[in-house]
Structure 1
Amino acid sequence: MSLIPKINLKNKALIEKSGGKITALTPLGARVEGIDLSAKQPPSDEVISALEMEMANRGFLVFKNEKQISEDDFLRASCWWGGKELLSTHGVHPETPNANRHIFRLSNDPAHGITGVGPQWHNDGSFVSKTFSHSGYHIIRPAENGGGTEFAHQGAAYDALPYDIQSYWNRLSSVNSNSGVVHPLVHKHLISGRKSIWLHLGMTGAVIEKLPDQDSFRLLDNEELKKLCHTYNDILNQGMDNGYAMTFEYQDNDCVFIDNMAVAHRASKAAHMPRDKQGLRILHRSTVKGMKNFAPHFDLPQSFGLDRPHKFGSGVWIRGGIGFRWDTGIPMQN
């Protein structure tokens, strides 16, 4: 039995009535055709809601574009989703078209874009309280020898966990190593209603546990946090064999929009291989403002000053950079 819902027939009919077509990818995601991202007039609110629901359920949508779309087309379509407004916190590479601050230009060649980004499972915007609702990826130049993005469905991953780990993770909250913002490790998705796991493996400075049957909290220590990160990494990796994770390889002019609260992602190893081995790869990313604060449970505050004393006892509490280095043998870069 698939852990990823089938495309809703009502949504499918509504999209087709508008001239579009949606087809499930295997094992997650969906391909959308016949909806022109370069059109100045967006689809109807009903069609956008149907697409957004499928994105929440299946994780991401791939728009196949018959003609080349512009940066403005891509950014305009990014605002169809979630908070309906771009929220951009990244640096601007010198090769970014028109120095547009809303385009995060990524590449495997430093002359063409920022390199080495996102090698471990993560969700974008873990350092802000109103975490990005959606992210967009427009492939400008796919590498000749591959270099895609890996996606893992976090609702399906939660369902795949043993009950005792589910119970434990429901009591955990992560602290971002750069901003001190706090997010729950398990949340209920705003659109799908599905319980989902959520942790940034490249920017976590601490994890706080709500003690069972007590009104008190504690920090995970070094070994506990290392075990948590490895278990989280393992359950997402297992989706590659168990039908809830995949590597998506881009084709010319693809636009991928992801529900940032439904799927974790990371760059494939091939995406970071040098240009002389893979060919040149260039990808533009957009990020969309969240719909509401991604607030922790148990009346924990939304953020902490990482340079100030806390009341959670001894344990891992790291400020800055990639945060807790849970595996010394892997590349970690935000």
Structure 2
Amino acid sequence: MGQTSENFSNRLQAIPPLDPDRVSLIENEGLKVKQLEPLGVEIYGADVRSRLPEPVIEALEVEMANRGFIVFKHQTDLSADELINVSKWWGAHEIHSTHGVHPATPGRNRHIFRCSNDSRHGILGVGPQWHNDGSFEAATFSHSAYYMARAPEQGGGTHFAHQGAAFDALPEDKQEFWQRLVSVNSASSVTHPLVHTHPISGRKSVWLHLGMTGAILERLPEDGMSIEELQKAPATADKFRLLKPDEMKGLFNDYNDLLNASFDEGYGIRYQYDTGDLLYIDNWAVAHRASPEAHLPSEQQGLRIMDRVTIKSKRDLAPHFGLPQYINMNGPHPFNKDGVWQAGGVGFRWKDNIRMQN
């Protein structure tokens, strides 16, 4: 989108800096806190094999919600059980696993999703497009862990974009329109709002899966009703319509452009890992994608091994407007017949020259 006008600057709310009181609480445990720009936090001096005090964990969880992610530095040689145990600090304090297990996974632990650029060591080609983990679930994961068991010599990091700041970056007319949209997952039929209010930060945040969406429903506007009133008002099928193919392409490209613009507009970061980095994202606050370098073959880049763990949310990411959490993508729908309604593992193809895989 590349907006640089004064009007854009006035709309974009800054990603909040670290809270001094929370920093003092964390550093009183002998840790060092480093604020990354424009988002993210690095934590030095921790040994996550030992549980931190509950007030410190709570403070870190709030900072994750505000700034997108935290990184515990220098956590080398974590065992599978140690990685699982620290991951239970967040969200509903329970692991929520939905993936297969690669043969090289430590202990064949079903809660660890091992990614690599070498098929002997992990799953190839994971996450090339902007996405949030577990978008096919009603209770999309609250947090995800990315443990860099072995960092490659030539980059191979992850891109992060703050979805609250991304909403602020939208023109007002698109803010209004996007808040009336609900996505339907092409594989699971789960519905999610395109804009939700983050349960901790309170920020309106965009949310769209670019690789597995089979339909977008628009709640039609009504004269004199605000977005908040529309969200709470009872509605029948005639109050909704499906976006048409050209509208879907426009929306998906706008979303992709919005997150791509994050690096220039101050709400995105290209994070490079060191071996032993343990990074946690708030999965409701930031979208992410693997950097292109992450998928280069190990012969060219050096071996990359990352373990992902996903954490159960305390709540569903529920749609507004009285819509159900699931609308069967394999069945008939009561909406306009010229809109997109596409079931399957990939969903609507909004661009033909990219690989749809997340």
Common fold: TM-score over 0.5:
yes
1:306 aligns with 2:329: yes
Counterpart code for 1:327: K
CA contact (8 A) 2:76 2:277 kept: no
Equivalents in 2 of 1:9, 1:161: separation in Å? Answer: 30
Residue 65 of structure 2: SS of its match in structure 1? helix
Partner of 2:256: 233
User: Which of 33, 40, 45 in structure 2 is aligned with 1:34?
Assistant: 45
Partner of 1:100: 109
The answer to whether 1:252 aligns with 2:263 is: no
Structure 1 residue 65 displacement after superposition: 2.3
SS of equivalent to 1:164? helix
Aligned-partner SS, 2:39: coil
2:328 maps to 1:316: no
Q: CA–CA distance in 2 between the matches of 1:66 and 1:125? A: 25
Offset at 1:67? 4.5
- CA distance in 2 between partners of 1:277 and 1:269 (Å): 13
Matched length: 332
Residue of 21, 26, 41 corresponding to 2:32: 21
Q: Distance in 2 between matches of 1:152 and 1:72?
A: 30
Could you say which residue in structure 2 is the equivalent of 1:213? 222
- Superposed CA offset, 1:163-203 (max 9, x none): 00000000000011110000000000000001100011111
Distance 1:230 1:140 in 2: 34
CA distance in 2, matches of 1:104, 1:205: 25
CA contact (8 A) 1:81 1:134 kept: yes
Which residue identity is paired with 2:38?
P
CA distance in 1, matches of 2:105, 2:325: 34
**Which residue number corresponds to residue 326 of structure 1?**
350
- 8 Å contact 1:230–1:326 — kept in the other structure? yes
Paired residue for 2:227?
A: none
SS at match of 2:21: helix
Match of 1:121 among 113, 130, 134: 130
Separation in 2, partners of 1:163, 1:66: 43
Shift of residue 74, structure 1, vs aligned partner:
1.4
Counterpart amino acid of residue 52 in structure 1: E
* Structural RMSD (CA): 1.2
- Structure 1 vs Structure 2: percent identity of aligned residues? 56
Task: Tell whether 2:154 aligns with 1:131.
Answer: no
Which residue number corresponds to residue 191 of structure 1? 200
SS in structure 2 opposite 1:85?
Answer: coil
Alignment partner of 1:6 is 2:17:
yes
Matched, 1:279 2:302: yes
* C-alpha contact 1:133 1:260 (8 A) present in aligned 2: yes
Contact 1:38/1:70, CA 8 A, preserved across alignment: no
Q: How does 1:150-229 map to 2 (within 5 A)?
A: 150-213=159-222, 215=235, 216-229=239-252
TM score, norm. by length of structure 2: 0.91
Are residue 76 (structure 1) and residue 85 (structure 2) matched? Answer: yes
Cα gap change, 1:88/1:130 in structure 2, threshold over 3 Å: closer, same or farther? Answer: same
CA displacement at 1:252 relative to structure 2: 1.1
Question: Equivalent residue of 1:48, what SS?
Answer: helix
Cα distance in structure 2, aligned partners of 1:117 and 1:7: 31
Contact 2:127-2:357 at 8 Å conserved across structures: yes
CA distance in 2, matches of 1:288, 1:149: 19
Asked if 1:289 corresponds to 2:312, the answer is: yes
**Contact 2:191–2:324 (Cα < 8 Å) also in 1:** yes
Instruction: Provide the C-alpha distance between the structure 2 equivalents of 1:106 and 1:204, rounded to a whole number of angstroms.
Output: 23
Higher alpha-carbon deviation: 294-303 or 14-23 = 14-23
Is the partner of 2:71 in helix, strand or coil? strand
What residue in structure 1 maps to residue 69 of structure 2? 60
Letter in 1 for 2:28: K
What is the SS of the residue equivalent to 2:342? coil
The 3-state SS of whatever aligns with 2:319 is coil
Question: Post-superposition shift, 1:140?
Answer: 1.0
Shift of residue 3 of structure 1? 2.0
Contact 2:115–2:123 (CA<8 Å) still a contact in 1?
A: yes
Query: Is the contact between residue 75 and residue 278 of structure 2 (CA under 8 Å) also seen in structure 1?
Result: no
Letter in 2 for 1:302: Q
Q: Which amino acid aligns with 1:140?
A: A
> Is the contact between residue 83 and residue 290 of structure 1 (CA under 8 Å) also seen in structure 2?
yes
Alignment partner of 1:268 is 2:279: no
* Residue deviations 1:109-138 (CA, integer Å, cap 9, x gap): 111111111110000011111110000000
Q: Secondary structure at the match of 2:347?
A: coil
Structure 2: tracts of 5 or more residues without a match: 1-8, 224-234
